[in-house]
Amino acid sequence: MTLVSHLIHKFTLIYLAVSLFLGFSTPGNAAPLSSASSDPSCPEGMVFIPGGTFTIGSDTHYPSESSAGDVTVDSFCIDRHEVTNAEFRQFVEATGYKTIAERPLPKAEFPDLTDEQLQPGSIVFQPPSEGIQQIAYLSWWHWVVGANWQHPYGPDSSIVGKDNYPVVHIAYDDAVAYAKWAGKSLPTEAQWENAARGGLKDKEFSWGDSYSAKKANTWQGLFPFFNRKEDGYLGPAPVESFPPNGYGLYDMTGNVWELTSDWYRVGHDGKSHSLNPLGPDRAESFDPKKPTEGAMHVIKGGSYLCAKNYCSRYRPAARESQAPDTGTTHIGFRLVKNL
């Protein structure tokens, strides 16, 4: 059973199965390894990331991030910011592409659903009503008919005036279609994490060792009830609203989660000392927190919904799993060009 069918059947969202415990702080003590430079082989809007060895994962946070190990990646180029609504619109206008959220659910895959339930839609974050202080686990996610990249919160919402916001409600195949059109690819998890670390070694965050609301768009306060909005944003922010990391990349922490090409399994076992590591094969992809959902991809970086009390995944090592057929209001992507 996929996520979508599960949602529609149960009317309760099981989406990001996240841990409720806090993230732990791990002081690092190393200096920057190197800094990125412009490179003529990188297209406009992309940043050159020098190849090298870095430590992927963490042994002091969520179990899904261990075992940490040294891996090596070749040089590559990566988008300076998350793919924006304006950029995605160019692709749609050039190709006529319809995202998965804009297509009716296939009857063959969901034979038990009525025509009404097969209507196009996507998964939207809806916070509890004001004053409510208890809520069922994960019940802040709702299937909304008519929600898609052009209408992020449903048919009455729009992205007019939001050209430079990250595109959302992008499922994996949508990102792959965009990448093919753009002549680029989705990053592997190793590429993404290396880029997110910004040349720092053994640091908890992409800027150093201490959390800061001023460094990235996350959630300050008790999720999902209270957001103090100390970073200025309740929802997504326009790309490049926060300082770049050491490689000149924006929003590698927070704003929206970013898809990678790796299939998900808990942990990094087997990757240590490898060159350009990939995730497991699709057949081996599994997340025990979501046992009915089959193979899933790794997403990275956390989002504007990540808070200290819940999903403290606004760190380069952090990772989550995401069903390939499903987007949400807080998942987007950026691309790489392999050299």
Q: Closest CB to Ca ion among 48 and 304?
A: 304
We find the least distance from the C-beta atom of residue 120 to Ca ion, in angstroms, to be 25
We find the least distance from the C-beta atom of residue 20 to Ca ion, in angstroms, to be 20
Q: Closest CB to Ca ion among 217 and 312?
A: 217
Q: Closest CB to Ca ion among 6 and 313?
A: 313
We find the least distance from the C-beta atom of residue 304 to Ca ion, in angstroms, to be 5
We find the least distance from the C-beta atom of residue 319 to Ca ion, in angstroms, to be 13
Q: Closest CB to Ca ion among 98 and 228?
A: 228
We find the least distance from the C-beta atom of residue 256 to Ca ion, in angstroms, to be 5
Q: Closest CB to Ca ion among 7 and 311?
A: 311
Judged by the rule CB under 5 A, the positions of this chain that interact with Ca ion are: 217, 231, 233, 251, 255, 301, 304
Q: Closest CB to Ca ion among 121 and 236?
A: 236
| Dist. CA 330–CA 15, nearest whole Å | 12
Burial 201-227 (b: 16+ CB within 10 A, else e): eebbbbbeeebebebbbbbeeebbbeb
Exposed, middle or buried: residue 46 (CB in 10 Å: 0-12, 13-18, 19+)? buried
Provide CB contacts within 8 A for 56, sequence distance 6+: 68, 69, 70, 71, 189, 190, 193, 194, 268, 271, 277, 317
Provide CB contacts within 8 A for 247, sequence distance 6+: 35, 36, 47, 49, 195, 198, 199
- Within 105-240, where are the H helices? 172-182, 189-197
**Which residue(s) pair with 332 in the sheet?**
258
Q: Which two tokens stand for residue 65?
A: 């991030």
Q: Closest CB to Ca ion among 23 and 121?
A: 23
Per DSSP, the residues of 38-70 read: --TTSPTTEEEE--EEEEES-SSS-GGGPSPEE
Q: Which two tokens stand for residue 44?
A: 């406009």
Query: Contact at 8 Å (CB) between 149 and 89?
Result: no
Q: Which two tokens stand for residue 327?
A: 């987007």
We find the least distance from the C-beta atom of residue 328 to Ca ion, in angstroms, to be 13
We find the least distance from the C-beta atom of residue 113 to Ca ion, in angstroms, to be 33
Q: Which two tokens stand for residue 169?
A: 């409600």
